[in-house]
Amino acid sequence: MKPLSVGVAGLGTVGAGVVKLLRDNAELIAARAGRPIAVTAVSSRDRRRDRGVPVDGLRWYEDATALAADAGVDLVVETIGGSGGTARALVEAALAAGKPVVTANKALLALHGRALAALAEQRGVALAFEAAVAGGIPAIKAVREGLAANQIRRVAGILNGTCNYILTEMRTRGLQFAEVLHEAQKLGYAEADPSFDIDGVDAAHKLAILAALAFNRPVDFSELHVEGIRAVSAVDIAMADALGFRIKLLGIATRTEAGVSARVHPCMVPVASPIARVDGVFNAVVAEGDAVGRVMLEGRGAGAGPTASAVVADIIDIARGRVTPVWGAGAASLSAAPALPMERHRGAYYLRLMVVDRPGVIADVTAVLRDAAISMESMLQRGRAPGEAVPVVVTTHECEEAAMQRAITRLAALDSVLEPPALIRIETL
């Protein structure tokens, strides 16, 4: 059978990993794809750079969109990255030319996935993106195909390895956020500008994709509530431990009769929860379906090998003629369930206040919570230091986000509260 000719645009860590994997496992991949798969063209701006994989003899394009127009390329792999610019132009050009696309680009899909899915459906070609969420974990296939018979109620997970590494190191070594971030940058786990990761944006891109798949809705990044981990302190980590929790940055999307909610923020999860034990740079994805119950997948969420593994899995599917609609169903069958604002969220909360240790402070705090109709589950104050700052920690029973935010505004205004209150939501995944 005629080999499937692949063009790879972007020869960074992932792109070079794809070329290497297709060569190293060529015989195995051909058997599983039903035909040989060969990289015949590549696109990158710098021809001289050593990428650890030979590219001699391949057609080379400095203009990525020209790669899409190459008549000898059957399938385009996009590993350039970024939500617009060259990556978007390449994917649009390839789909418009009737060529299937495999991408690892979560930002592109989260922000422009609705239009790209419509173009792929119109042209009758695949747009595959297993590598865009959780690296080597087959999360997309699990949610879209493996759980296709289920009404999925919730999909959630640890979707950013950098944040999970930082929170793990803070807990196991008792270090502050800034210290661990600096170490993570030196080790290559965090970028020189880490804001994309630590502010929750990367995890939010991935959650937007998972939510669209789980609930058969067009992707809409603007619906998400997004918080990062900059405000998580060593005090919070220690208090969580004392209360029987671990702090994790989670993405959580839920469907109810009222609509769909999607949020990324630090969470306290019970130490006995399976997701609490996912440490370091590992990712995890949890899905809950009406028939299957709860399913959890864990593995490496980044790196050349895991991400290339996911890209090549998509190439094999396309070579076999297995094509699934981008969001699990055709555009005419997608859900129009409304998005629920964060103010409507109901849950339990951890609240830490740094207060002046003097009589009457606790009464003031409890009065604010009482007036907001928030019921306390526990209160923890460690040590005494009359006249100095001490942490007071409150955990609450379930209440509405809007009520908690009103309470925080009032608490912050108390003259005995010395810094903005720290709030972390409690989740029982």
Q: Are 397 and 348 in contact (CB under 8 A)?
A: yes
Q: What is the largest CA-CA distance in the chain?
A: 83
User: In this structure, are strands 152-158 and 282-289 parallel, antiparallel, or unpaired?
Assistant: antiparallel
Q: Are 175 and 181 in contact (CB under 8 A)?
A: no
Q: Which of 20, 99, 106, 206 is catalytic?
A: 206
User: In this structure, are strands 389-396 and 225-226 parallel, antiparallel, or unpaired?
Assistant: unpaired
d(CA 99, CA 127): 9
E strand or H helix that includes residue 285? strand 282-289
Q: Are 351 and 420 in contact (CB under 8 A)?
A: no
- Based on the residue annotation, tell me whether 141 is a catalytic residue of this protein: no
Output the six-digit token pair for 33.
Answer: 């794809």
CA distances from 45 to 48, 62, 63, 86, 249 (A): 9, 5, 8, 11, 36
DSSP codes joined into one string, 344-409: G-EEEEEEEEEEE--TTHHHHHHHHHHHTT--EEEEEE----TTSEEEEEEEE-SEEHHHHHHHHH
Q: How many CB atoms lie within 10 A of CB 6?
A: 25
Residue 9 — φ and ψ, nearest 5°? Answer: -105, 120
**Catalytic residue IDs:** 206
